[in-house]
Amino acid sequence: MKVEFKRLFRILPLVFNAAVRNADHEKLTQHIINLNQQNSVQGIINEMAICLKEILNYRLFAFVLQSEINTTQNRVDIDVWLDPRMYRKSLESVFIKDFHLSGESQINYLNHTFEHDEKEQKFSLENLVSYTLNEENCQGKIYMLTSRDISKYHDNIVSMILKSSGLALSKLINIEKLTNAATIDPLTGCYNRREFEVQIKKSIATAKRLQTPLSVFMFDIDHFKKVNDTYGHQAGDAVLQKVSAIVKSSVRSGDILARYGGEEFIAILPTTSKLEAIELADRLRQKIEEQTIITDAGTIRVTASFGISSLNPSYERPDSADIIKLVEDADSMMYKAKLNGRNTVMPGIIHLLTKAI
């Protein structure tokens, strides 16, 4: 009897481990199926995080993605998925070192928005483990603190989920690249004119249906030809990139900024009155005027002239006529801003209020 008990005690751990591993592989298989059905970067990474939480019960998980989508001509950013959020500060120095960043401004968090004075918790990096992803169009890295020792078996689990996630991300990035090629201006990262025409149709239809205001501002960079002639076209490109970045970072996520021509841009502002659009444009005008743009050819300062228009929908005419009027009115106001000495917004707030009275 004692011999049988001894044999049983030797067999039980083997049976238990086999059962655990079978359960793990069933979970892994289901998660791989799920992540291949995702249609967003966030969805794929979230599925990866859930899988590793179930199997490894991590205390900290971060996935960093650097792809062709978040890489521009002069800047390489990273997207980060972090769980839990309280370890952000401790990890940022690792991200900056591993991905050769110049600072925190190049880190974009996919699943959190942080407050300036948010409480953080430090931890020792000594037990942090990492796994690297290398695909043709993206690179990434998993960082983890786990509640158990990482064995070769667990290494294999992580490698399988990382490889499957990498293939799914690579496929999605290729699709986004094809989409962006048709809709995004490659120099500034703004929508192109063709996509603006698609978006303005949708915006006008929505404004009419919901009976909400809709405004547009158009602006171009003053004396831009002189910038190109003085500093060269590469410096001119740097100016376009910087000015468009200032505007993009200052408008709402639901606003739409497009490059309309060479140095000319246009923005669609849903649920925005003409007065609100004028106030926004004037803030942007000041930011552009105050910015010093550093290029290889020297430092450059520029100004911009803005024209504002708002939707005055006519239900007797087609949406296409409203589009034409919106754009023509904004263009006309921008021309008046040029005639008024440039570096200004038309109509101005005083002019608008006087007209209203």
CB burial readout 256-265, b (16+ within 10 A) else e: bbbbbeebbb
Is residue 318 reached through a cis peptide bond, with omega within 30 degrees of 0 on the bond before it?
no
How long a stretch of residues is the chain?
Answer: 357
Catalytic site includes residue 135: no
Q: Is 196 exposed, middle or buried (0-12, 13-18, 19+ CB in 10 A)?
A: buried
Residue of 135, 263, 290, 316 marked active site: 263
- What CA–CA distance (Å, rounded) separates 59 from 145? 5
Contact 269, 286 (CB under 8 A): no
Give the chain's radius of gyration (CA, Å).
27
**CA separation, residue 263 to residues 83, 122, 164, 204, 303 (Å):** 42, 47, 43, 25, 12
Q: Which residue has the tokens 């076209």?
A: 233
- What CA–CA distance (Å, rounded) separates 4 from 26? 32
The DSSP line for 144-186 is EEESS---HHHHHHHHHHHHHHHHHHHHHHHHHHHHHHHHB-T
Q: What is the set of active-site residues?
A: 263
